[in-house]
Amino acid sequence: MKSKITKTLIAAMVAAGLSLGDLSAQNGCQSSEAHKHLMEMNPEYRDAFEKSRERDLSARTSADVSTVKVFPIVFHVIEDGGVEEISDTQLLEALEQVNEDFRAKNAGFSEVFDAFKPIAVDTRIEFRLAKFDPQGNPTTGINRVQSPLTDDAGQGTGGYGVRDLIRWETSDYVNIWVVRSAEKSNNGSAYAFYPTDNTNYNYDGVVISSWATGRSGTATEGWYKILTHELGHWANLPHVWGGTYGPDDTRSCSDDDGVSDTPNTIGAGGADSPYWQDNEFYETCNTVDNVQNFMDYYRDPVMFTAGQRDRMHEAMERYVSRNTMYSDENLIKTLGYIPDVIYPGSSAISYKKVLNEHWSNEGNLNSLSLNYENVQLSASRLELGAHFDLEGISGVTAHIEDLGNGSAQLIIDSNFQAHNIADNKSFKIKFKDSAFQGSTASDVVGAIGKEDVDIIFRDPYRVIYSEAPSNLYVSKAEDKVWQYFSGFGVGDGAFGTWIHTDDNGDKFLKMETYFKEMVCEPGTRNVKGLEEGTLIGPDLETGAWVNREPKPGQHDISNDTYTALNGKTTFIGMKIPVEISETETIYHYAWIKIEVSADGDGYRVIDMAFNEAPNQPIKAGGLVEGLALGWLDTQFVEAKDENDGSIEDKVSFELSEATFAKTGELTSGVDFNVVNLPSGLSAKVTILSETTGEVELIGSSNSHGKSSSITNLQINFSDAVFSDEIASDIAGATGFDLRVKFRDDYRLVRVTKPLTVTTADKWQFFRLDAGGSDEFGLYYDDVNDNFFKFEAYGKAIVTNGTSLNVTPLNYGEVVTTESSWTQNPGHPNQHRIITPDYSDWLGQQKYLALQFELEGETVYGWALLNVRADGQGYSMVDAAYYTKPDGPIVMGITNEDDMDQYLKPVVDIVLDKNQFVTGETANIEGVKSGVDVDAWEWVIVENGTETVFGNGPLTSYQFATPGNYTIRLNASNFYGVTTIEEQVVVTAATAQVDLAITAQKTDFDLNEEGTFVSASTGDIASYKWVVSKDGQEKFDGSDDQDLTYVFDEEGTFEIKLVVTATDNGVYEETIQVNVSDSGAVLSTDDISQLSVSPNPTDGRLNVQVTNSSSVTEITLLSLDGKEVMFKSFTPDMVNRGVELNLNNLSKGIYVIKVVNAEKQLSDKIVLK
């Protein structure tokens, strides 16, 4: 900028941070927070950065900007089975876009505003995909690494987790990490680091979200140039508004970006920003803004300036992390050749480096665009063999058409028979002298074909399913009004859940589609609820597809005049456009399952799916379309608790447009074969119905460390499994890759990092060196409140209740998932060690319990703190963490073997009393403290005889004879067994009781009321009636002498009378009655609605039946019809909603059946 250069430190970590949320409220770059965080995190980096910036802001050296510098680039795609698994095509498109932008070959360069045309330049910087890895092995330049860390590689932690997974030498390669979310907290797009005087090993490179990568597939329109912006940062360019403030801040008019020819500006902050303008004469700092600059947030940037070019080249030549990367020696090492580069005036021919299969998916290819300059082709049609060769492919026919004006296209006329992704290949175009008029091929740059053209095929199309995260909802009551999501792996798959507030303050539920069409009630923008199985596609009724209007005209889920979806769980339909060319657009049809609250307070997205096949319909709720076998999940995971190579999950599959010829367990080697199965495991494949089945891995893998995880397990079915089809014709029935994820052995890791903070030395950052989100800090906050704090960067710490006051724990105390974990809400509200109102730590050396994410799962640790008695500081003396996910940890213990004595169950026996009379029943409860109990065993000991009588935390025992008894509890878990005992004395009963029940009859009609009377005599103190059916209690609690009960289901019931005598003896009498449906008794009420949520569920299922007036039975069935759960509830309970705990069931698809006197309803649920 043309202003006084300040010495304010520019943000060390610069991030585009752009949000695809409501485009009227984008989140900009988090420079200030990122700068503060990174400087505090790493003093070594801070020192190197400060020295580098001082040199940036002082005298400069001249750089050679006449020579094109070429940098090797490598993509690391971090995958975990989601939309981040983008194609090679997208990555190659991203690289192509970057080179067009840096070399001023992008389509918009000719439209640079007149005021800036004199300084809009070709930067003479290019990037090439690496062809050799650091060990010298051939590579595609694209690595794919499986890790849940892809879900959030946030700039707040510097993306350490994904960077530690894989990183190639940063002085030899530009590392690009592609993830699902570069900044989960605000849907950030990407971020990068500046070069410094050290090699910047831990930070160097770019982290970018998959939706901001490339120009097709999951890439979101309008975000294709994010990688150009980030590589500008990597090459030492700040944002054009400087580095001190964010965009839209008028203080930036006095800031500087260190570039001589970029005008002062406050930058564009978002679509509704008053500074986001198309006006080429717009001013924010008394000079015309260069809004088209790649380093601003303009919606369609097109240029770098000459000053930016010079600054980038100067940095590339000066910094040790850059100045050897473009050398011939390094290019030979990483590329295997010295690339051809084109200079102005050169005779040259260039072409795109990726050739995609046509979307029809029949083995035919698109045409490949070529450009030539300062040379003439010899004919309007060049023939393969006569004018050029295609080195690397054979047996094809091809030609090149001259389109005139320096443009041509290569057309390969042949169809490839093998055209799955596994069949991808590459070739080089080798022009002959005969291709040119007046020139030889050796005189034309690019004609001899040094660089590969990659042919990218498509796998057979299938339905792509994804689950929504648990936080994907909006709620008026919670003031949660916006949530962006992009669960579709194709095209502009961006959507948002949204609560709109109108001018009157009224709030309405909407869906933001960014001008994509949805299925609506005809003539409105009211989103239509679709029944499961509804065909969503081009053949829906006229007027069904409706686009949104400008804000606030988005699609309506619920408002004051449209409440049809309130209280419902339903499917909604949409279509996702993909622009193939300027004249051709294809559509992918999709569904989203939503749950809308009955009162219109909010709604939740449950899951979603789209059809990869262009212009083809999808069934609402369907997981597979066409002739295909769809996999509900694609990953088996080693059992967390056992950690012994056994697998805890099953994987389900579903067949479409075909049926299975067999049922039950299939025979390996006959009905299916398994490829790449880890040794020690066997596959059990079970067909559950005509169209569904599941796979279970039995046994334990011999090798089950993390490095033994695989991504290519295949279950290949034989033809005999299917009724009328052959397996090879069914997509997904053969050759489909499944994952098997193993864990390393669990370890207790000690980390000794003595650190101290005082009122003078205010900050100490540390990591536990585990990877993941393991960063913490000791902190004295003299700016906000003068508190001594513990910085956990948003993670939870064990505190006193829900406060931020950290609990001092003693040596040997056990911390588990049930401990009092509290998350801090962010700076400056970190967890507190010392405040004027909190002094529990003063003069103490105690333990702090912490947690962090390791490979996407939560692990626990401790830090030993020594706090000064005068409250003027504290130190961290020691620390440790346990790598078992959700595994308990013992304060102060540093060896796994020593933990067992603390982690065995801590239990107690609770009795009402210790003296009983014969006939009396003792109600017994086992109470645990801290760690979980896996098994409860109750033993009664009388005169040396031991009898097991219970196996749960709650049990009872009736004493038949007088004597001294011992009640023994054996409680066990993974770490050992704890045995405790309780003594009781039983005396002979003295009271006399004669029991008798009088019933009006013993055969009843369904829904008939029965009356039962106690005719008992004697010394009776109280009565109790219990009604049971099939061993399950239906009613328990009446203490009257008489019982009235309505029989709401058929079958045999037991009516039990329990009488307590005056000496506390207990006596029981039971009769049986039969209930059948003769049609004589029938309620006319109706069940108006059945609601089950969330669906899919992780283990907790809420079931609600509105307007029920009788007892309701809820049965859960497996797909083969086996009953796996049965519950019965009173009308008031099911009307309010009841919760079922499914944690003891295996993952898969189940049928829930709800029956009462009025109606029978059912639904399908998915247990994740």
- Domain match, 752 and 828 both: yes
Question: Looking at the predicted structure, is the pLDDT value of residue 625 above 80?
Answer: no
114-128: average pLDDT: 96
Maximum average pLDDT range among 379-388, 853-862, 991-1000 = 379-388
Residue 754 has, within 13 A of its CA and on its CB side, a CA count of 0
Please tell me the predicted confidence (pLDDT) of residue 1124: 87
* Residue 661: inside a domain: yes
* Residue 506: inside a domain: yes
- Domain match, 684 and 659 both: yes
* Strand pairing report for 650-656 and 628-631: antiparallel
Residues 6+ away with beta carbon under 8 Å from 314: 60, 61, 62, 63, 236
Question: Looking at the predicted structure, is the pLDDT value of residue 158 above 60?
Answer: no
- Domain match, 1002 and 1060 both: yes
Instruction: Provide the sign of the torsion angle of the four alpha carbons 727, 728, 732, 737, taken in this order.
Output: positive
Q: For residue 380, how many other CB atoms are within 10 A of its CB? A: 11
Label residues 673-702 b or e (16+ Cβ within 10 Å = b).
Answer: ebeebbeebebebbbbbebbbbbbbeebbe
Question: Looking at the predicted structure, is the pLDDT value of residue 75 above 80?
Answer: yes
Question: Looking at the predicted structure, is the pLDDT value of residue 18 above 50?
Answer: no
Residue 590 has, within 13 A of its CA and on its CB side, a CA count of 30
* Three-class DSSP category at 89: helix
Structure tokens at 555: 């699609």
- Domain match, 728 and 755 both: no
Residue 601 phi, psi dihedral angles, 5° rounding: -70, -35
Question: How far is residue 882's CA from residue 747's CA, in Å, rounded to a whole number?
Answer: 6
Q: What CATH number does the domain containing 1113 carry?
A: 2.60.40.3080
Question: pLDDT digit string (tens) for 497-514?
Answer: 999 999 899 999 999 998
- Domain match, 514 and 611 both: yes
Question: How far is residue 69's CA from residue 72's CA, in Å, rounded to a whole number?
Answer: 10
794-813: average pLDDT: 93
Question: How far is residue 366's CA from residue 398's CA, in Å, rounded to a whole number?
Answer: 12
Please tell me the predicted confidence (pLDDT) of residue 30: 40
Sheet holding 1051-1061, edge to edge: 1003-1005, 1066-1076, 1051-1061, 1020-1029, 1032-1038
- Domain match, 371 and 249 both: no
414-418: average pLDDT: 94
Q: Is 856 left (phi over 0), alpha (psi -120 to 50) or beta?
A: left
Please tell me the predicted confidence (pLDDT) of residue 696: 97
- Domain match, 607 and 471 both: yes
- Domain match, 102 and 246 both: yes
- Domain match, 839 and 767 both: yes
* Residue 206: inside a domain: yes
Please tell me the predicted confidence (pLDDT) of residue 900: 83
- Domain match, 872 and 965 both: no
Distance of CA 148 to the CA centre of its chain: 7
Please tell me the predicted confidence (pLDDT) of residue 27: 38
Question: pLDDT digit string (tens) for 35-46?
Answer: 445 555 554 555
- Domain match, 256 and 151 both: yes
Question: pLDDT digit string (tens) for 181-209?
Answer: 776 655 567 888 788 765 445 678 999 98
987-1002: average pLDDT: 88
- Domain match, 791 and 879 both: yes
Q: Across the chain, what does the average pLDDT equal?
A: 86
The amino acid at residue 271 is: A
- Which comes out higher in pLDDT, residue 1044 or 836? 836
* Residue 1057: inside a domain: yes
Instruction: Provide Rg for the chain, Cα atoms.
Output: 35
- Do residues 241 and 29 make contact, with C-beta atoms less than 8 angstroms apart? no
858-868: average pLDDT: 97
Please tell me the predicted confidence (pLDDT) of residue 1110: 77
Question: pLDDT digit string (tens) for 245-279?
Answer: 777 788 889 888 889 899 988 887 554 555 555 67
* Strand pairing report for 1020-1029 and 1112-1118: unpaired
Last residue of a domain, one of 979, 1006, 1041: 979
Question: How far is residue 835's CA from residue 867's CA, in Å, rounded to a whole number?
Answer: 12
87-99: average pLDDT: 92
Listed range (661-670, 806-815, 1130-1139) with the worst mean pLDDT: 1130-1139
Q: What CATH number does the domain containing 1050 carry?
A: 2.60.40.10
Q: For residue 944, how many other CB atoms are within 10 A of its CB? A: 6
Question: How far is residue 1053's CA from residue 1031's CA, in Å, rounded to a whole number?
Answer: 9
Question: Looking at the predicted structure, is the pLDDT value of residue 528 above 90?
Answer: yes
Question: Looking at the predicted structure, is the pLDDT value of residue 31 above 60?
Answer: no
Maximum average pLDDT range among 113-127, 529-543, 774-788, 1067-1081 = 113-127
Q: Model confidence at 49, in pLDDT bands (50, 70, 90)?
A: low
Structure tokens at 220: 């979101």
Which structural domain, as residue segments, surrounds residue 405? Answer: 348-456
* Residue 700: inside a domain: yes
* Residue 518: inside a domain: yes
Task: Tell me the percentage of the chain whose pLDDT exceeds 90.
Answer: 54
Please tell me the predicted confidence (pLDDT) of residue 1046: 86
Q: Which of 80, 299, 73 is CA-nearest to residue 181?
A: 80
* Residue 1081: inside a domain: no
Question: How far is residue 758's CA from residue 834's CA, in Å, rounded to a whole number?
Answer: 11
530-559: average pLDDT: 91
Question: How far is residue 1062's CA from residue 1069's CA, in Å, rounded to a whole number?
Answer: 17
* Three-class DSSP category at 459: coil
Question: How far is residue 434's CA from residue 378's CA, in Å, rounded to a whole number?
Answer: 7
> Per DSSP, what are the bridge partners of residue 266?
none
Please tell me the predicted confidence (pLDDT) of residue 280: 79
Residues 6+ away with beta carbon under 8 Å from 283: 289
Please tell me the predicted confidence (pLDDT) of residue 3: 32
Last residue of a domain, one of 953, 979, 1005: 979
Taking the whole predicted model, whether its pTM rises above 0.85 is answered as no
Question: pLDDT digit string (tens) for 874-906?
Answer: 999 999 999 999 999 999 999 888 888 888 898
Please tell me the predicted confidence (pLDDT) of residue 2: 38
Last residue of a domain, one of 896, 930, 961: 896
* Residue 1027: inside a domain: yes
Containing 88, the helix (H) or strand (E) segment is helix 88-102
Q: Model confidence at 368, in pLDDT bands (50, 70, 90)?
A: very high
How many domains, in total, are found in the chain? 8
Question: How far is residue 600's CA from residue 812's CA, in Å, rounded to a whole number?
Answer: 49
Q: What CATH number does the domain containing 122 carry?
A: 3.40.390.10
